[in-house]
Structure 1
Amino acid sequence: MNSTLIAPVIGAGLLMNVSLCAFADNSFSQPLWQLNQFDQPESVVADPDSQWLYVSNINGAPTELNGKGYISQVSKTGEQLTRHWVTGLDAPKGLAISKGKLYAADMQTLHVISLSTGSLLQSYTLPDAKMLNDVTAGPDGTVYVSDMLGGGVYRLRDNRLSLWITPESISHPNGLLWEDDHLLIADWGTGMKADFTTGTPGSLYQVSPSDKALKPLSTGYQLGNLDGVVRHKDTLYISDWISGELYQLRDNQRRIVLSTNPGLADIGADAGTLYAPMMMDNTLVAWQLP
């Protein structure tokens, strides 16, 4: 696990075509930095207690069990990269950090990795899952995992990973975010086709653990093919993988604040910075949030 020092690339449009939608303070006119040393980066998560980001690399077909997937470690300034920090995975996607551990969704398996050493601590396998996708954790250490292709949401609690929300309730959940006392689920949509487009756009749902009822947020109703969801201050940001658009939900309004190439995947945020994995461009881009 050797680290590499990298000069951050400053300037928009060098590795991807970024167009700015109308936005009052022009926040997304130019990225802070971008790196292209990745292989289909799908998810990025920031460690709140250190300088590091962690990026999952599928490195193959999204459902291929090839053992070539890996996780990279990147400094939050984009200047230092350990490209192959954890190796030997299949098609890793969503990541979450809780209590000194990194949780990685990898097809039918949820891996638990030590942040201090990068060693694999434990793996939970779900034979009935089809493609575990995003991961989030509550303050008590409970971990939630979505199954985008198989449907439903799983919960890891008391060392047991089991189905928590059924596929009948939600058929293609993707992005997850735990905040306050509820879970947010960014849905991909319904009527999925072979090219992953859908007949009906996905919505953003709020779920109360007490009854597990899915309540669509008005600003996120039939929004798009939703992937990642993060909060910054009083604003939610949601990525659309198919269109490459970044949505802002605030003050009962929704707007597109950034248009990129298709493949804008599971975004992460930390201390006013948005980190965007561009899966089809093999690029990680950092943006200043307003």
Structure 2
Amino acid sequence: MQKKLIISTLMLAFLATGCATEVKSNQGVMQKITGLKTPESAVQAKNGKIYVSEINEFGKDGDGQITVIENGKKRVFATGLDDPKGLAIIGKTLFVADKTKIMKIDMDGKVQTFVPTSAFPVTPLFLNDLEADPQGNLYVSDSGDLFGAGKGGAIYKISPKGEVKLLINNEQDARVKAPNGLLADDTGKVLIYVDFTSGILYSLNTDTKALNDIAEGFGGGDGLLHRSNGTMYVSDWKNGKVFSVNTKGDVALVKGGYQSAADIAITKDEKYIMVPDMKAGELDFIPLQ
């Protein structure tokens, strides 16, 4: 009962002002994009352009890049990044979680540091997903020592001025193992996230720090998104699957068969889920009814 109540409350908050903007596109049916270099995240701008972060070789600084896809064709948009992962767009600026810092990129592809490593209360280990709220704040997950001892997980809030505030970490709550995909409601008081290590979907009250589980069984939980009808979708990187979670908290498999389904996103017209398949080097599109 508690889980269903949490789900219903959250969905009402999202539905209040979370309807997608219709984007008219001449692309027709979305076609899979291949030949990407370890794609991790994707986001679509209001003008229909899709931006994809490409890590290339993990741990090798300077070889990461952002690719833009327009009318089904891809081109390099920005270079010189390290291990770019989560993406978020605010206005005409693309923000990128890049290893231990947050970068910003203008629409001409110029890259600048927005939040340096030194601005965090402790040095991040593995900055991962990035989420924006209507007030212009950013939320970033630090998945910590992801493939080691499972420590260092944290979630931060970043103001429009680049000021960093810790929301919760592994020391405050042991359930915060490797937070990954994020969803913020329109007030900024509720943050939903999926944990890569436990595969559990949580809701976090950013004021009280209360953490409640919503659903589980997502393996290596990675990406997280919601539709304006209240349905959420979660990707499982380890098992190559994408799941749906309805307003009752029921989980259903949407599609499997990926090598590593990373940070999923939804197109602005809500017709497709964009799935970066990291190991396959592809961006897939799941049509929605």
TM-score by length of 2: 0.79
Paired position in structure 2 for 1:81:
74
Paired position in structure 2 for 1:103:
95
Pairing 1:171–2:177 present: yes
User: Which has the larger share of strand?
Assistant: 1
Q: Give the Å deviation of 1:32.
A: 3.9
Q: Percent identity?
A: 31
- Contact 1:44–1:268 (Cα < 8 Å) also in 2: yes
User: Which 5+ residue runs of structure 2 have no aligned equivalent?
Assistant: 1-28, 145-151
Q: Distance in 2 between matches of 1:41 and 1:104?
A: 13
Q: Distance in 1 between matches of 2:170 and 2:105?
A: 28
Q: Distance in 2 between matches of 1:180 and 1:138?
A: 6
Q: Distance in 1 between matches of 2:142 and 2:50?
A: 24
- Contact 2:133–2:184 (Cα < 8 Å) also in 1: yes
Q: How many residues align?
A: 240
Runs of 4+ in 1 over 3 A off after TM superposition: none
Q: Distance in 2 between matches of 1:81 and 1:32?
A: 13
- Contact 2:115–2:162 (Cα < 8 Å) also in 1: no
C-alpha change, 1:165 and 1:65, in structure 2 (3 Å) is: farther
Q: Give the Å deviation of 1:137.
A: 0.7
User: Which 5+ residue runs of structure 1 have no aligned equivalent?
Assistant: 1-30, 190-200
Paired position in structure 1 for 2:158:
156
Return the letter of the residue paired with 1:177.
L
SS in structure 2 at match of 1:96: strand
Q: Distance in 1 between matches of 2:191 and 2:247?
A: 20
Q: Distance in 2 between matches of 1:251 and 1:185?
A: 16
Q: Distance in 2 between matches of 1:229 and 1:236?
A: 7
Paired position in structure 2 for 1:285:
284
Pairing 1:247–2:243 present: yes
SS in structure 2 at match of 1:34: coil
Pairing 1:227–2:226 present: no
Return the letter of the residue paired with 1:286.
F
- Contact 1:58–1:91 (Cα < 8 Å) also in 2: yes
Return the letter of the residue paired with 2:84.
P
1:123 pairs with one of 114, 135, 144: 114
Q: Distance in 2 between matches of 1:33 and 1:45?
A: 16
Return the letter of the residue paired with 2:259.
P
Q: Give the Å deviation of 1:165.
A: 1.5
Q: Distance in 2 between matches of 1:280 and 1:237?
A: 20
CA RMSD of aligned residues (A): 1.6
Q: Distance in 2 between matches of 1:213 and 1:99?
A: 31
Alignment of 1:1-290 (within 5 A): 32-47=30-45, 49-61=46-58, 64-75=59-70, 77=71, 79-82=72-75, 84-114=76-106, 116-126=107-117, 128-149=123-144, 150-157=152-159, 158-168=161-171, 169=173, 170-181=176-187, 182-189=190-197, 201-217=198-214, 220-232=215-227, 233-252=229-248, 253-270=250-267, 271-272=269-270, 273-290=272-289
Q: Give the Å deviation of 1:183.
A: 1.2
Return the letter of the residue paired with 2:169.
T
Paired position in structure 1 for 2:11:
none
Return the letter of the residue paired with 1:151.
G
User: Which has the larger share of helix?
Assistant: 2
TM-score by length of 1: 0.78
Q: Distance in 2 between matches of 1:97 and 1:177?
A: 14
Q: Distance in 1 between matches of 2:202 and 2:124?
A: 21
- Contact 2:101–2:113 (Cα < 8 Å) also in 1: no
Q: Distance in 1 between matches of 2:230 and 2:279?
A: 30
Q: Give the Å deviation of 1:37.
A: 2.4
